[in-house]
Structure 1
């Protein structure tokens, strides 16, 4: 048996699979985000550990014999979070999350610290990355900065709690702006630019490698007498790609979760920093990927649900399953700033084209359209990087909305495939990586594409209307980017 654990922003998810990759059981536990100031986003690392224990023990109650037979565990996690611990491994402050925008000024500090740093990294430092967060802590919380023993990513803090070992995988480490992505090792030049040292970094592993075993006390608490190995795992999107077999050149996925991601696997390092395309290591050896990120995808729909005091599923259900055209209103989903392709931490969202006739259905439609346009903006950025995307596989909570998938397929102009295992996303991919680490199996043979449950095709009758509305959408950011900038 093999266990995958996915540490997201809104929940911890677990999936238990057998040796034939059949899903035996799943469980989840919710998480909350703290926003103490505008643009800030934090979580308590110990809340992840508590939720992790709830998930594993829930699975244990559901399938005690299966849990007792677990031999390998894989980890998937939200990327970029700055989890700072002292020399004893105790958290020094709440984790600064991937969608925290406070360190936008520190990005320039890093660029100015070392000549040629963007070319060296193949990426531009963004406020969401880990490195600028540490520069911010050094400036504003110097006493905490002085105590930093290790700077860990969220899932890697859990790894430490599970195994007592400090480790990270290549895909997650790529999002720190401390990794030499092309050569898959920590970069002294990048670390120096943010005042960090290699001894403050965890040991690097491929996602398919074992990073240690559960400690005896954790194994006993979880009812796992075999003390399973813990795989390197992956950043959430790389793990999701492993879950759907997107490990070959140009294999693509669209992830519709709290954030939105377009992910394309590459057989070599292909940077395109000018369009804010992330060029990272994949979670499997000798493989890389390009990724464009929307900071507020399903989070935008949840925002609207909060404003209208109506659950998000009820809002989308009220629209039905057919689309007759684009919404007359336009929504720019930059609620937390935006990552790709504008790289602007200060800009905020816009809802325009409102009239007396604009009701909750029209607002919901505008939000769904706006997010599809944001995916298209990133889709075009990937095309500019020389990537050819003929179809995408969809994963994440947003795939539960049939209407949203139809809009996305139409706006992107490509088929959207839904895998049979799409509901577990990164957790399933993590479980697969746990299987590989425990058995030594060839990852090419394990990380195959699952069966496609169904395919959503673009609506040819609506292509022209959506293309025209997308062109209007593209005019919004250039027109408002300087408004309200501090």
Structure 2
């Protein structure tokens, strides 16, 4: 098995090198800079992906452990349907409104499993649910609840890893959505460092092409491509209300709310 960026052949008749690449998530990681122990990489795409960097591989129920792009490191976490797939649906069906124009205590709790869930449940039959919804809630509250639900999944995957956390780095096209990143910061209670390159997967693939062309030596050389655009701080005004909703979110998950009943025989 060849490593990423290794030349494995030539395209016949063209002189072009044929090299090994990587999936989009690994390409994104190459230029994210989340390669130290305790670094958490949150990929805000159609799929929400959360990886915590660890020094030694280990298994935790419901999570995946795979090699890191940095030699000698591993990462633990997983992928969730509570990313752009869920939030895009919310954006289509809920009226436009400013999710920041909501009182912290006036937000329902959303179980975001509209098409089942991957990590940590691996349950295709889970479904979405809104808890404590009433007539006083408006579109802004529903949108904030949706972003919070995604943030709660990030926190849940981090906590299930039982790994120490030093910082959170966010990448992907979803980093353009300010309320999403704010909800992640509020849900985790940690600053979120936002990558300056939303299209990190494309940039990482370009770096591998440079390795194949002999212009780069190792994956570590990508460190000079890492740039942070801004840091999103958790809002202390929201802390108590978000903490309460997170625990309600976990309780809903334990009850497997919204699960599809098996068909009758």
TM-score of the pair, normalised by structure 1: 0.50
Matches of 1:478 and 1:247, distance apart in 2: 32
Conserved in 2, the CA contact under 8 Å of 1:321 and 1:402?
A: no
Offset at 1:454? 1.0
Matches within 5 A, 1:333-348: 333-348=112-127
Gaps of 5+ in 1: 1-203, 220-225
2:7 corresponds to 1:210: yes
Higher relative contact order (CA 8 A, sep 6+): 2
Tell me the equivalent position of 1:456: 232
For residues 234 and 398 of structure 1, the distance between their equivalents in structure 2, rounded to whole angstroms, comes to 21
1 CA distance for matches of 2:18 and 2:56?
29
Instruction: Specify whether residues 363 and 431 from structure 1 end up closer, same or farther in structure 2 by C-alpha distance, changes over 3 A only.
Output: same
Residue 106 of structure 1 corresponds to which residue in structure 2?
Answer: none
Which of 204, 211, 215 pairs up with 1:436? Answer: 211
Match of 1:227 in 2: 16
- Post-superposition offset of 1:394: 0.7
User: In the alignment, is the contact (CA less than 8 A) between 2:30 and 2:219 conserved in 1?
Assistant: no
Residue 343 to residue 481, structure 1, CA distance change in 2 (3 Å): farther
CA displacement at 1:367 relative to structure 2: 0.9
Q: Residue 246 of structure 2 aligns to a residue in which SS? A: helix
Aligned equivalent of 1:372, options 130, 135, 151:
151
Show the 5 A alignment for 1:11-410: 204-216=1-13, 227-230=16-19, 232-272=20-60, 274=61, 276-308=62-94, 315=96, 318-319=97-98, 324-325=103-104, 327-382=106-161, 384=162, 387-410=163-186
Alpha-carbon separation, structure 2, partners of 1:483 and 1:295:
15
Structure-1 separation of matches of 2:157 and 2:105: 19
Structure 1 Cα separation of the partners of residues 193 and 221 of structure 2: 21
Count of matched residue positions in the alignment of Structure 1 and Structure 2: 261
Kept after mapping to 2: 8 A contact 1:243/1:430? no
The CA distance in 2 between the partners of 1:403 and 1:484, in whole Å, is 30
Is 1:476 aligned with 2:252? yes
Aligned counterpart, 2:221? 445
* Superposition deviation, residue 468 in structure 1: 1.0
- The structure-2 alpha-carbon separation of the partners of 1:424 and 1:326, relative to structure 1 and needing over 3 Å to count, comes to farther
Asked if the contact 1:327/1:365 (under 8 Å) is kept, the reply is no
Alignment partners' CA distance in 2, 1:465 and 1:471: 10
Q: CA deviation at 1:412?
A: 0.5
User: Which runs of 5 or more structure 2 residues have no equivalent in the other structure?
Assistant: none
